[in-house]
A = this chain, B = another copy of it.
Amino acid sequence: MKITALHLHPIAVADPPLRSSYGLHAPYAIRTIVEIETDEGIRGVSETYGGERPLAALRAAEPKLIGRDVFQLTRLWMEFEAQAAEAGGDRSQTWMVPGENPIDQHARTFAAIEFASLDAIGKALNKPVCDLLGGRARDEVAFSAYLFYKHAGGGGLGGDEREDEYGEGLTPEAMVRQAKDFIARYGFREIKLKGGVLDPEVEIETIRALRREFGPAVPLRIDPNCAWSVDTSVKVGEALVEELSNGGYLEDPCATIEGMGEVRRRLLAKGIDTPQASNVAVTAFPHIPMAWKHDAVQIVLSDPHYWGGMRAQQQLDHFCHVFGMGVSMHSNNHLGVSLMAMTHAAAACPHLTYACDTHYPWQTARDEVVAGGRIPFVNGCVRIPSKPGLGVELDYDQLARLKERYEALPYRKRDDEAEMRKRVDPNWKRILPRW
């Protein structure tokens, strides 16, 4: 089954004004929907990062794709890997968002092609994608309630503004409301709070309020995206020793593997064994031995979109197991195609036991490109459907609408810092550590 054409659809998806240490989410998140056509008339679909650079990298790969057998991608990976090795670089994501990080551009491009190829193979064989990878470890994948401090507003611009389903969320009380809303709608059983936004005391109080509300059966996690110094990280770790126990973790409290290693040592010296997770200090395989050496990271938050695809995700799963690390999955704003790719990839990973992140609740049916509408969550889980491939088809009317929107947008890359200056504070700068 050979690839005969590559179709790239850049799209814009209304996104609420969510906050993180990077700044503020813009009114539209940008994504790319990828379609491959094959000589058997079957199409494969995937979704990946949006904007100029990811799109350009995919376009540049097109000549390598035409005529290629969807079953035979290893040589494509070897070509990409050789180019990446030549380009060099060993940057973490401290300062880069994943879609813009040059170190994983080849892995991102490859993943988008791999997802679409596996989707096409699954459709040809009438098999779900996870069962093309050795088989599922589970029939459903748990996701967590991914809470964000946010300003009022549902996202979108002009006539295309979206209803604000959740309202402003800048206090502990508001975040408890947000969590209750999420859980009522999706049934999530684990909670992650995106931190690094308000004073650490307020964020500590938010986690405590969540614990009071939901009790120890609901694991809690906090991710300030490196906003804290080593000292502050240790202080927060001490303050939340009880709240982050029972399956909780502290995610990227400060920058770098060395920094996280120091936090770990200082917490352990105080008898505090809260695991640390990362998708910032550890973003590629060569980071893992370093993280292990420094005992900096106990849970790797992978992302098949930028670790190099679903087979790479499986390799990471096994890697982490061998090193005695846990594994889970990071997310960026995404639609249903990515959600299903994440679900299939996670289902094929025996050791992925922490609920995965997902931004999916921050998007709505109005912006879904999947035919038939939004992917359902049951008890916080997405089930592997008994449909071939990823289990989704595109709604081309929706796709056209979101493409039109993208064309009209003035920006071509995610820049949360610029957005923060534009809408909240004209002097705002990302400062690390801020506290």
Contacts and interface: CB of A to CB of B under 8 A. Distances in A.
B285 A135 contact: no
Complex copy number for this chain:
2
Interface string A285-323: 110110010000000000000000001001100110011
Contacts of A318: 285, 315
A184 interface: no
Contacts of A285: 318, 322
Given A125-B125, A285-B318, A322-B289, A350 B135 contact: no
A137 B350 contact: no
Contacts of A136: 72, 74-75
A323 B286 CA distance: 7
Contact of A322 (B69, B127, B288): B288
Contacts of A350: 74, 77-78, 81
Given A318-B315, A319-B319, A135 B286 contact: no
Contact of A72 (B69, B75, B131, B311): B131
A311 B78 CA distance: 17
A348 interface: yes
Contacts of A125: 125
A132 interface: yes
A41 interface: no
Given A289-B323, A323-B289, A71 B315 contact: no
A322 B72 contact: no
A73 interface: yes
Nearest to A77: B350
Contacts of A314: 311, 315
A134 interface: yes
B323 A73 contact: no
A74 B289 contact: no
Contacts of A127: 71
Nearest to A124: B125
A423 B348 CA distance: 51
Contact of A286 (B73, B74, B289, B322): B322
B74 A311 contact: no
Nearest to A287: B322
Task: Give the 4 A-B CB pairs with smallest separation, nearest first.
Answer: A72-B135, A74-B135, A285-B322, A71-B131
16 contacts: A71-B132, A71-B135, A72-B131, A73-B134, A73-B135, A74-B136, A74-B137, A75-B137, A125-B125, A286-B322, A289-B289, A289-B322, A311-B314, A314-B315, A315-B318, A319-B319
